[in-house]
Chain A
Amino acid sequence: MAKPTQKASAVPQDVVLSVRGLSIDYYTRRGPVHAVRDVSFDLKRGETLAIIGESGSGKTTLAIALIRLSPRSARITQGQILYNGERKVLDIASLGDEELRRFRWSDCAMVFQAALNSFNPVLTIWDHFLDTARAHGSPGRAEVRARADELLGLVNLDPERVLRAYPHELSGGMKQRVLIALSLQLKPEIVILDEPTTALDILTQRSIIDLLRRLREQLGFSMIFISHDLSIAAELADRVVTMYAGTAVERASVDDTFYRPRHPYTVGLLRAVPNVSGALGSVASIPGSPPDLIDLPPGCTYSPRCPFAIDECRKAEPALLAVDTPEHDARCIRWEVVKEKVGSAEQPVAEKLAAS
């Protein structure tokens, strides 16, 4: 279905992955589920991009489509995924099986949600390293071992102990570290992490966040991570794409997202999360629930829950409008009203709204 309308070479040099107007449907008995609708973003070299959204926002569907691991019932109905690697330029949607196999892991690796279930329980960690190496042109055992030692060292694990272990012998945090090491085995340019810290304890979460930060500094890969947890985005991301009902409703730098959000959903989401440091501010939930993705409401999909909505919002789905700076856009015709309310101070949204 996906017809390349633009040449991959049109991707700017500093962009390593460009997603353009991507739409994905799932086919079900009730009809097509519009899980991802017209999502575009550029991932710059060395950058960390967070895709945040709640369950059903389409964030995981989007992520697994980037390496074309979507289930059979999913179809890309529109758009392009362009990879602009140092070694090659690829249009992911039109790759053949062999090219796709090589793209996965050596160019773009993925750490899946639920680290505990990503391993083969009857293989040792060493076997996992060896398997990966064999599947991608087999270097010698000594080379694989050297790489495994290096990577496990980087993620603060003892290779002697860990390589011999079976997955069940490792704690949740150790498994997540091993998966991160495995994802880096073939020196990919892009690493995608789906909910990298969900289901981990607080102290373990902290060590994984610090680890990802350090690896990014040391190795310079680009990173996309998917999360429902805003605080992980604040900790790790350079830029944030906020998703709602399958589409990107706001794209901005991390500071603009947290201090100067212009889409009412982003504002609502930020306000819904209490913090531990600082003032509690005016914390509040968003009323209502997300729409049915088979039968979307007319106009802006957030309008039924939006305190800023006017009649015009229900007529047509707004485009991404540039707000404040060229690097920041929001799918909201009322963004100027939101701006008036939220302002531009470097202060969390809940605190600002408590003061006003």
Chain B
Amino acid sequence: MSSDAGASPLIELEHVGRTFTTPAGTITAVNDVSIALDAKEAMCIVGESGCGKTTTGRMLAGLLRPSSGRLMFEGKDVWTTKGDDLARFRKAVQLVHQDPYASLNPLRTVYDTISAPLFRHKRARDRKQAISVATELLQRVGLTPPADFLIKYPHQLSGGQRQRVSIARALTVDPRVIVADEAVSMVDVSIRISLLNLLLALRDEFGVTIVLITHDLAVARYFAQVGRIGVMYLGKMVEFARTEQIVADPAHPYTTALIAAIPEADPTIARTKRKVELRSAHVPSLLRLPPGCVFHPRCPLSEPGLCDVTVPELLPLQEGQEVACHVAMRERVPAAELLETVPAGVATEPG
């Protein structure tokens, strides 16, 4: 890592890993993941349950100490800094949680929730000032008229409104990075886009870097239109690329399978969409990860003697696309060849 201040990213996970000890044994939730983000980036981490995306998000937000590797903020190792530097990091990176029903204190009004960090971080000295800042923040997140919302308790708000309060709370400390963990998964479909737009507006207007963690690739595509998507599987980053690259022509067989499996809100596409036939539907346990590439027992491209022996590294395939796959690196199998064609009008799989 260069120490040149101009070139170092705003926030960076350097080869981080994280293990957890459970009664059944030690599990590796995240294994050797690196993410570097500059100011004003929009990035998504995508994966299925158990892939380590939430653990990665929590390490990025400095809430979980990596078992190996480093979290760097403005070129400094966060877990060895103290005092003012640490306080600066804590304010600069904020997390918005998945469940707006659980992440707001039910006994506190919106004003209480938002004013607490304002007082704590001395952005407000008295109630009058706190009300004025809170009003501004509520306006910012689209809860208008703010005076009506300040006096409300969480149970008086809808899921979408609660999530807006969570975002307003994150904004109280002028963060430079927001990590949003499945922030739209629990709100109704009709208002998801407006929440994503709100997060994107924060990026455009204040240059906040936003990392959205989601299992929904369609949401990721919309959110990170001009950014990047990282795809995780069993603790590894298997592909990391520009959004349009990932969606249009993924390189890793897992990404290809994932994109091909997504249900489409378009009956014609749904009837004719091509699928990837995996070798196994069984997801290995994190307690007993397969040797070599963790995806090899399910991968249609797996080569005995290579994929089940050597762990593939995440390497650049082309400009703006990194992939961790021996076969993709060697011969660049286009996504189209992995897909079995279902002729138009035939809606069933051969049974």
Task: Output the least CB separation between B186 and chain A (Å).
Answer: 10
Q: Do A274 and B193 touch (CB < 8 A)?
A: yes
A275:B266 contact, CB within 8 angstroms: yes
Residues of B within 8 A of A9 (CB): none
Q: Which of A201, A207, A276, A277 contacts B48 (CB 8 A)?
A: A201
Give the size category of A's interface with B.
Answer: 35 or more
Is B263's CB under 8 angstroms from A206's CB?
A: yes
How long is the Cα–Cα vector from A8 to B268 in the complex, in angstroms? Answer: 37
CB interface residues, A 229-286, toward B, < 8 Å: 229-235, 254-255, 258-259, 268-270, 272-278, 280, 283-286
Query: With A214-B348, A234-B270, A280-B222 as given contacts, are A275 and B188 in contact (CB-CB < 8 Å)?
Result: no
> Known interface pairs A217-B348, A280-B225. Does A286 touch B267 (Cβ–Cβ under 8 Å)?
no
Q: Mark A97-139, 1 if CB is under 8 A from B, else 0.
A: 0000000000000000000000000000000000000000000
Name the residue on B nearest A210 (C-beta): B349
Query: Given A274-B193, A274-B221, A286-B191, A218 and B351 touching (CB < 8 A)?
Result: yes
Complex contacts, A206 vs chain B, CB 8 Å? 261-263, 275
Give the Cβ gap from A356 to chain B, nearest Cβ, in Å.
18
B259 at the interface (CB under 8 A from A): yes
Query: Cα distance A306–B206 when bound, in Å?
Result: 32
A54 within 8 A of B: yes
Instruction: Tell me, in angstroms, the Cα distance from A280 to B247 when the chains sit together.
Output: 11
CB of A21 to closest CB in B, whole Å: 27
Contact across chains for B191 and A289 when beta carbons are under 8 A apart: yes
Whether A213 sits at the interface, judged by CB under 8 Å, is yes
Taking a contact as CB atoms under 8 Å apart, the answer to whether A277 and B188 are in contact is no
**A-side interface residues toward B, CB under 8 Å?**
54-55, 156, 171, 173, 197, 201-207, 209-210, 213-214, 217-218, 228-235, 254-255, 258-259, 268-270, 272-278, 280, 283-287, 289, 346, 348
Known: A214-B348, A234-B263, A289-B191. 11 other contacts (CB 8 A): A197-B263, A202-B258, A203-B281, A205-B263, A210-B349, A231-B264, A273-B265, A275-B266, A284-B194, A285-B191, A287-B194
28 pairs from A and B in contact (CB 8 Å cutoff): A55-B188, A203-B278, A203-B281, A204-B281, A206-B275, A207-B281, A213-B348, A217-B348, A218-B351, A229-B263, A230-B189, A231-B270, A232-B263, A254-B267, A258-B267, A259-B267, A272-B189, A272-B192, A272-B193, A274-B193, A274-B219, A274-B221, A276-B221, A276-B247, A276-B264, A283-B222, A289-B158, A289-B191
